[in-house]
A = this chain, B = another copy of it.
Amino acid sequence: MRGEPLDAETIMSATEEVLRRHGPEKTTVLDVARLLGVSHGSVYRHFPSKAALREAVIRRWLDRVQEDLAAAIRSPEPAAADRLRGLLTTMFAVKWAKAREDPELFATFRVLAAEHSTASSAHVAFLLAQIRGIVVDGIADGEFAACEPEVITRAIFNATSRFHDPTHAAEWQSPEVEAESATVISLILDGIRTR
């Protein structure tokens, strides 16, 4: 048994470690309890179910991903088109890096995304809000054609699915993915600019 009292953060960190070792399919609450040297009942006192624990771990992991993204876009370019290009480029690069460097937690995220979990929906909402902010600025400046921001934001998100949706992760290893994403971004920017 461990000395210090067991808290939710400690359990989540241990779960990350077990996920990285065994992957999303084989990780059990018992593995997590064993790593911590506690009974699985102690884990269940903090998280009502394995699904709740997994959701909490991925929510915390996505928070860190979003912090990286927010830091990268903190100093905005003056033109909305340049800001949108920067946001999308960074958003894809962060996803590709996570898929490559943290494959087991990415695989867990992918399972949650397929299940439309709360953590994954909140992450989609965060990305949509980032895009929407720039779209609204661009329309206000007259740089982007007048349109319904919600509709065009969703269209930009959908048109770039190949580059950010975890279901496409296997394709992100292609040497062409960077050039192909740049072309799609240019196509989108040409589509929303004022004529």
Complex-state Cα separation, A145 to B186, whole angstroms:
13
Q: Is A65 on the interface with B (CB-CB < 8 A)?
A: no
Q: Which residues of B contact A168 (CB under 8 A)?
A: 161, 165, 167
Interface secondary structure of A, over-half rule: helix
Contact with B along A84-97 (1 / 0, CB 8 A): 00000000000000
Given contacts A161-B161, A162-B165, contact A152 B183 (CB under 8 A): yes
Q: Which residues of B contact A122 (CB under 8 A)?
A: none
Given contacts A167-B167, A190-B192, contact A184 B162 (CB under 8 A): no
Is A187 in contact with B154, judged by CB distance below 8 angstroms?
no
Task: Give the 3 A-B residue pairs with the shortest CB-CB distance, closest first.
Answer: A191-B191, A190-B191, A161-B162
